[in-house]
Chains A and B, each alone.
Chain A
């Protein structure tokens, strides 16, 4: 029985959520319905780098998600209070008229700065169905308030900027095959980049047959640790910088630092390379040895008490790192998603800097592993006439208290103070409006007052937790209902082009994002400028030919390309070594820092610490120092809320995408990870319903009692959908009922892993 006999057609498609990878899929269609979703079946057995990009469980479960009972099929208009979830069905014409009228009114009264497209990554990697279509539309209408940062990488991006003057400073993951030691701080490709074409595959290939020793430092015994680690060192969340300080103390006092490297390539290790206008006693060495302003030696014993790691293990780790060269020291993005995340990210880099592992084969800068990819073209969006931009995490403040939103206090760019509040909000394939943003109760207050933000237009495939808070909900086509081009994600070591074909007709009245934007453009008088007289599908074909200009080996005819479906380019011999040019010739290829060198001491941060306005307790420091923050042990809140809570990326969903898919919920149920030492005194057994709470809110979730999480720490995977009961108490296990909107000091980023909570066995349903 061959496939052709069972199915009418098999078409190429893709999974378009934000794991970092981008997987091709083959969609089996019969009588206009999806019968099955198959994996990539091209390139296996060829050279590494053209192998099958096998989608993970999330992409393979897409059929169940596309046909979800929660699919949005018609345009909806809110009736009743915002967030109540009561809507009436309206026509597309009515919906688009309402949007255009309000958009016009808001721009007339409040100006273009009062229009904002919220961050969202639930549909990523498409070219024509890209969130940038909204930017293209708004730029034709005078622009919109901009943003910088992401919810993924705000703190580490700033850390790399101030330290290395760059981003993506990591060596390829396959370079670990050339290392003598691998040290991962909170780096977990087996769960965060689990595509068969992504980082986990790279790690498998590079570690197979390699004797390299791998150490994973993480509060959780991750799937990366269980599979790849020779040793797991559990650490209290937010204390990685303290560990590095203790390691640095041993490296310095036992003469294991690469002094030649530090003198030649770096600023601020000791007095010989300090900026001339900084008072003595402010070098890194002074700080570590207790000869700086705090007079506190950062001994391994000091670090041990903070991190929870035994003293002798810290000393041994320092000697291991100091004597194994090259060593691949890398961090994931969990350690930086904290209230002190910028300094944590900088501190982890210090381990690579002190040992001279930066810019060499088999080494790494301390950054996350580096990506490879082909820079295929994206749709032209034009210029945004509005130059004002907010840190993306602070959008609720831009709604609720814009007159208190400043450059020195909030990281506002382009103005000293925000001129107008956000009055009109676009949300495309985003659950950031409620679910993925911190402190849901506080977000609800900002959104609940319709006198503040006057219109929220949300485009999605399913009725998400966020969609309930929109005024106009528009049903978008899923990736199986529209054609597009998709490029490789950044979590791979190959270039990929996928020609995604429309597999089935749009469900209900679903429309593509492009058609929705074109409908608004028509009503706003810019249809011709927006569409350039092309349909969605004509744009896809046009963009394909733009790709051909970059890669002339692609078929001349679009139809020929469609039949092949997926194209791959092996990265060849170009093993990426982060900052290699600088390492080889620092005079010819200086870094993009003010000194042109690695800035262990950052004069820029020194200056910010003097000029920026910070809430009490927040710190900006010129050196990668450790400082305990709010939401950590030792804080006064810890008496009531003694457990730290982080929210790991979980295989059941990609952020909140697909979290409603029953297949995935069955295969990988949502649960709270709690250590037996913490569960037993609370009478919590595996499978019990647990209430987790703090000053921000509460949620309920089943307990996974497991030694795979450090004692004193719990992890509640991020992404589960906020599902309040009649009293407003979440039953869905959504971590953002418990997180804080207070941003990190430098990046103004989301510190969503910095939380203190209490847990108890839930009374209520089911009865206890």
Chain B
């Protein structure tokens, strides 16, 4: 059993295909508007029309597949007024449906928009790291789905020896807010945190319903 499960994303081979989103949706039977996993497109660059009618540009784009990061300091747990949001011994953050009243405080608090309100249930729902699959030695549905093998998972401490656990780039929030168990390699065109060069290019796809 993994001590502390963590996702890892090789942003250099994530093509933004969104198979992870659909695999998650199918396995967890999520209604429209509920996206436990989302793929952010971060893009930018300027176009300049030259006097001769040709163009210069410095366009870039990269994708970030994001779910719950099962943070070491989960702000959603702290902000839950009913203690429905909890963290188990492996660090997996869960919602207790017996306690959740659907107030959505956790959603507002989470810088990754990981907790998702399910209007059918009237409650918060979220990624549970496919605990049922982990328990039988399998991979989370999103990881098992990834066509390019960009999305991986493993034990946080082991992954942190391979990849820099301080890596942050736009549009990721500062890591010290929640200490996410999510490791990444840096995209070739990565922009620094809080950059004005570029922005989220698909807000309608990742915004919470």
In the complex, what's the smallest C-beta–C-beta distance from B76 to chain A, in angstroms? 24
Known: A687-B204, A707-B43. A196 touches B148 (CB 8 A): yes
B15 touches A60 (CB 8 A): no
Residue B161 at the chain A interface, CB threshold 8 Å: no
Residue A347 at the chain B interface, CB threshold 8 Å: no
A704 to B100, CA, bound (A): 37
* A-B contacts, 6 listed (Cβ < 8 Å): A1-B135, A201-B149, A226-B63, A304-B52, A666-B32, A707-B47
Known: A201-B148, A677-B49. A707 touches B57 (CB 8 A): yes
New A-B contacts (5) at CB < 8 Å, excluding given A63-B26, A711-B55: A55-B147, A194-B17, A200-B15, A221-B59, A662-B32
In the complex, what's the smallest C-beta–C-beta distance from A185 to chain B, in angstroms? 18
In the complex, what's the smallest C-beta–C-beta distance from B69 to chain A, in angstroms? 20
A534 to B87, CA, bound (A): 59
A632 to B19, CA, bound (A): 36
Which residues of A lie under 8 Å from residue B35 when comparing CB positions?
666
A708 touches B26 (CB 8 A): no
Residue A668 at the chain B interface, CB threshold 8 Å: yes
- Interfacial residues of chain B within 133-175, with CB under 8 A of chain A in the complex: 135-136, 144-149
Residue B194 at the chain A interface, CB threshold 8 Å: no
Residue A195 at the chain B interface, CB threshold 8 Å: yes
Of A1, A36, A304, A305, the contact of B26 (CB 8 Å cutoff): A36
Which residues of B lie under 8 Å from residue A38 when comparing CB positions?
144
Which residues of A lie under 8 Å from residue B189 when comparing CB positions?
226
Residue B111 at the chain A interface, CB threshold 8 Å: no
Known: A226-B61, A708-B59, A708-B61. A56 touches B50 (CB 8 A): no
A223 touches B59 (CB 8 A): no
In the complex, what's the smallest C-beta–C-beta distance from B91 to chain A, in angstroms? 20
Q: Which residues of B approach A to under 8 Å, CB–CB?
A: 12-19, 21-23, 25-27, 32-33, 35, 39, 43-47, 49-50, 52-57, 59-63, 132, 135-136, 144-149, 189, 201, 203-205
What total of chain A residues lie within 8 Å of the partner, measured CB to CB? 59
Contact digits for A643-677, partner B, Cβ 8 Å, 1 yes 0 no: 00000000100000000001110111100000111
Contact digits for A734-760, partner B, Cβ 8 Å, 1 yes 0 no: 000000000000000000000000000
A667 to B56, CA, bound (A): 32
In the complex, what's the smallest C-beta–C-beta distance from A312 to chain B, in angstroms? 10
In the complex, what's the smallest C-beta–C-beta distance from A70 to chain B, in angstroms? 16
Residue A125 at the chain B interface, CB threshold 8 Å: no
B12 touches A55 (CB 8 A): no
B47 touches A676 (CB 8 A): yes
A667 touches B205 (CB 8 A): yes
Which residues of A lie under 8 Å from residue B45 when comparing CB positions?
707
Known: A226-B63, A308-B54. A60 touches B26 (CB 8 A): yes
Residue A296 at the chain B interface, CB threshold 8 Å: no
Q: Give the residue name and chain of the A residue nearest to B30 (CB).
A: A663
Which residues of B lie under 8 Å from residue A710 when comparing CB positions?
55
Listed from nearest, the 8 A-B pairs whose CB atoms lie closest are A196-B147, A190-B15, A57-B22, A226-B61, A57-B19, A60-B22, A223-B15, A667-B18
A202 to B43, CA, bound (A): 25
A310 touches B50 (CB 8 A): yes
A675 touches B54 (CB 8 A): no
Which residues of B lie under 8 Å from residue A585 when comparing CB positions?
none
- Interfacial residues of chain A within 709-725, with CB under 8 A of chain B in the complex: 710-711
Q: Give the residue name and chain of the A residue nearest to B131 (CB).
A: A1
A198 to B148, CA, bound (A): 10
Which residues of A lie under 8 Å from residue B147 when comparing CB positions?
54-56, 194-196, 198, 200-201
Contact digits for A39-71, partner B, Cβ 8 Å, 1 yes 0 no: 101000000000000111100110110000000
Q: Counting chain A CB atoms within 10 Å of each CB, which of B18, B35, B46, B203 scores highest?
A: B18
A663 to B50, CA, bound (A): 42
In the complex, what's the smallest C-beta–C-beta distance from A761 to chain B, in angstroms? 17
Which residues of A lie under 8 Å from residue B60 when comparing CB positions?
226
Q: Counting chain B CB atoms within 10 Å of each CB, which of A310, A662, A687, A707 scores highest?
A: A707
A223 touches B52 (CB 8 A): no
Residue A227 at the chain B interface, CB threshold 8 Å: yes
Q: Give the residue name and chain of the A residue nearest to B27 (CB).
A: A36
Q: Give the residue name and chain of the B residue nearest to A193 (CB).
A: B147
A55 to B44, CA, bound (A): 30
B17 touches A707 (CB 8 A): no
Q: Give the residue name and chain of the B residue nearest to A208 (CB).
A: B13
Contact digits for A189-222, partner B, Cβ 8 Å, 1 yes 0 no: 0110011101011001000100000000000010
In the complex, what's the smallest C-beta–C-beta distance from B33 to chain A, in angstroms? 8
B55 touches A663 (CB 8 A): no
B149 touches A221 (CB 8 A): no
A61 touches B26 (CB 8 A): yes
A677 to B47, CA, bound (A): 7
Residue A378 at the chain B interface, CB threshold 8 Å: no
Residue A706 at the chain B interface, CB threshold 8 Å: yes
In the complex, what's the smallest C-beta–C-beta distance from A223 to chain B, in angstroms? 5
B13 touches A227 (CB 8 A): yes
Contact digits for A622-659, partner B, Cβ 8 Å, 1 yes 0 no: 00000000000000000000000000000100000000
Of A60, A198, A310, A675, the contact of B19 (CB 8 Å cutoff): A60
Which residues of B lie under 8 Å from residue A664 when comparing CB positions?
22
In the complex, what's the smallest C-beta–C-beta distance from A464 to chain B, in angstroms? 21
A223 to B39, CA, bound (A): 13
A221 to B16, CA, bound (A): 13
Of A311, A686, A706, the contact of B54 (CB 8 Å cutoff): A311
Which residues of B lie under 8 Å from residue A57 when comparing CB positions?
17-19, 21-23
A666 to B208, CA, bound (A): 12
Known: A1-B135, A201-B147. A663 touches B25 (CB 8 A): yes
A675 to B48, CA, bound (A): 11
Which residues of A lie under 8 Å from residue B63 when comparing CB positions?
223, 226
A200 to B13, CA, bound (A): 10
Which residues of B lie under 8 Å from residue A64 when comparing CB positions?
26
Of B26, B53, B59, the contact of A308 (CB 8 Å cutoff): B53
Which residues of A lie under 8 Å from residue B25 when comparing CB positions?
61, 663, 667
A667 touches B21 (CB 8 A): yes
A686 to B207, CA, bound (A): 14
Which residues of B lie under 8 Å from residue A707 when comparing CB positions?
43-47, 57, 59
- Interfacial residues of chain A within 225-249, with CB under 8 A of chain B in the complex: 226-227, 232, 234
Which residues of B lie under 8 Å from residue A100 when comparing CB positions?
none
